[in-house]
């Protein structure tokens, strides 16, 4: 069962349970949303339900967790090693991990009806690992299911994205947009480069994360209004930006977020480069 803190994702949970009970669970799911908002926790809770075993002991052969070596997030598991955990020694998620995962998934379940694997931070799969994983998606095992978790879905191969069903996650904080940050975005969109660079001058990496998160949520709201053909309310602004331009800006923001989360990039320079593409 989901915890009190996870109840904001009741809709996602109900979909998973209902699909499972009706034997209509998609073979591969993609949990996407901002970092550290509970995607992995919900995936693990569902894994407990799905394989009907206590996976927290780290000895369940029907559950596999794949994650990059740098993962330091708190876990529901009592220990951080065992046959259920596949962690590479190099950077990112390597092809060797994916090959080992596929091999395990082709084996029959030990005691559950199906196996379930979670790939955390799937965006950190190397190109070779993604290509290897794609081959499995094209010829999947009928006794296994997969959950990919990422804050950066656009970094995955389009052919992978076309073969998974997305489940989006938005935290309560996402829904409460900072009016000043939104106001700054609207002003920046009509400013020249000098004005945009002036804005970027005093932004710290910590502040930039909040800013980009807010911009992303806001622009997605604007995009939904435009795609639906609804009349944009005056408070939304950006009414003259095309749908294609909005999609491109959203993609560039996600790329900048990924860069900042995986490298020691200079936040001011990263923001300047982003603003040049507005």
pLDDT in tens, 27-81: 999 999 888 889 999 999 999 999 988 777 666 889 999 988 765 444 444 444 4
CA-CA distances (angstroms) from residue 42 to 11, 139, 278? 12, 27, 35
Neighbours of 163 (CB within 10 A): 18
Q: Is the Cβ–Cβ distance between 93 and 66 less than 8 Å?
A: yes
Q: Is the Cβ–Cβ distance between 153 and 32 less than 8 Å?
A: yes
Q: Mean per-residue pLDDT for 7-24?
A: 91
Better pLDDT: 237 or 18: 18
Inform me whether the pLDDT recorded for 253 exceeds 90. yes
Inform me whether the pLDDT recorded for 259 exceeds 70. yes
Q: With the C-alpha atoms ordered 6, 12, 17, 20, is the resulting torsion angle positive or negative?
A: negative
List Cβ neighbours of 161 (8 Å cut-off, separation of 6 or more): 30, 153
CA-CA distances (angstroms) from residue 56 to 60, 85, 100, 212? 8, 11, 21, 35
Q: Mean per-residue pLDDT for 157-179?
A: 81
Better pLDDT: 77 or 176: 176
Euclidean distance between CA atoms 44 and 29, whole angstroms:
13
Q: What is the pLDDT of residue 35?
A: 84
Token look-up 């930006």 returns 241
Q: What is the pLDDT of residue 162?
A: 94
Q: What is the pLDDT of residue 85?
A: 60
Report the 3 state secondary structure along the chain: CCCHHHHHHHHHHHHHHHHHHCCCCCCEEEEECCCCCCHHHHHHHHHHHHHCCCHHHCCCCCEEEEECCCCCCCCCCCCCCCCCEEECCCCCECHHHHHHHHHHHHCCCCCCCCEEEEECCHHHECHHHHHHHHHHHHCCCCCEEEEEEECCHHHCCHHHHCCCEEEECCCHHHHCCCHHHHHHHHHHHCCCHHHHHHHHCCCCHHHHHHHHHHHHHHHHHHHHHHHHCCCCCHHHCCCCCCHHHHHHHHHHHHHHHHHHHHCCCCHHHHHHHHHHCC
Q: What is the pLDDT of residue 226?
A: 82
pTM of the model: 0.68
Q: Mean per-residue pLDDT for 261-278?
A: 89
* Best mean pLDDT range from 25-34, 166-175, 222-231, 254-263: 25-34
Query: Looking at the chain, how many residues does it have?
Result: 278
Greatest Cα-to-Cα distance within the chain, rounded to the nearest angstrom: 64
Better pLDDT: 99 or 59: 99
Range 4-171 classified under CATH 3.40.50.300: yes
Give the least confident one: 34-48, 79-93, 208-222: 79-93
Q: What is the pLDDT of residue 76?
A: 47
User: Of 197, 185, 201, nearest to 253 (Cα)?
Assistant: 185
Q: What is the pLDDT of residue 68?
A: 85
% the chain with pLDDT above 90? 47
> Residue 209: pLDDT band by 50, 70, 90 thresholds?
confident
Q: Mean per-residue pLDDT for 266-277?
A: 92
Neighbours of 134 (CB within 10 A): 16
Q: What is the pLDDT of residue 222?
A: 87
Euclidean distance between CA atoms 103 and 115, whole angstroms:
12
């Amino acid at each position: 069962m989901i915890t009190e803190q996870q109840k904001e994702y009741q809709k996602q949970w109900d979909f998973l349970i209902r699909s499972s009970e009706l034997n209509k669970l998609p073979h591969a799911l993609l949990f996407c949303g901002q970092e550290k908002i509970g995607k992995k926790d919900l995936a693990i809770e569902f894994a407990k339900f799905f394989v009907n075993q206590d996976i927290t002991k780290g000895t369940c052969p029907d559950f596999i967790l794949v994650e990059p070596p740098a993962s330091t997030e708190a876990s529901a598991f009592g220990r951080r090693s065992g046959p259920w955990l596949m962690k590479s020694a190099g950077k990112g998620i390597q092809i060797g991990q994916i090959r080992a995962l596929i091999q395990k998934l082709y084996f029959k379940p030990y005691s559950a009806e199906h196996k379930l694997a979670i790939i955390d931070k799937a965006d950190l799969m190397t190109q070779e690992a993604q290509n290897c994983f794609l081959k499995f998606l094209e010829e999947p095992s009928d006794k296994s299911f997969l959950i990919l978790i990422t804050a950066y879905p656009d970094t995955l191969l389009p052919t992978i994205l076309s073969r998974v069903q997305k489940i989006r996650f938005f935290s309560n904080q996402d829904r409460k947009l900072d009016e000043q940050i939104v106001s700054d975005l609207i002003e920046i969109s009509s400013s020249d480069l000098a004005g945009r660079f002036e804005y970027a001058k005093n932004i710290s990496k910590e502040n930039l994360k909040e800013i980009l998160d807010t911009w992303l949520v806001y622009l997605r709201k604007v995009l939904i209004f435009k795609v639906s053909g609804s009349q944009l309310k005056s408070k939304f602004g950006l009414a003259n930006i095309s749908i294609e331009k909005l999609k491109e800006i959203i993609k560039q923001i996600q790329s900048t977020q990924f860069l900042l989360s995986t490298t020691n990039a200079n936040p001011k320079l990263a923001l300047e480069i982003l603003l040049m593409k507005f």
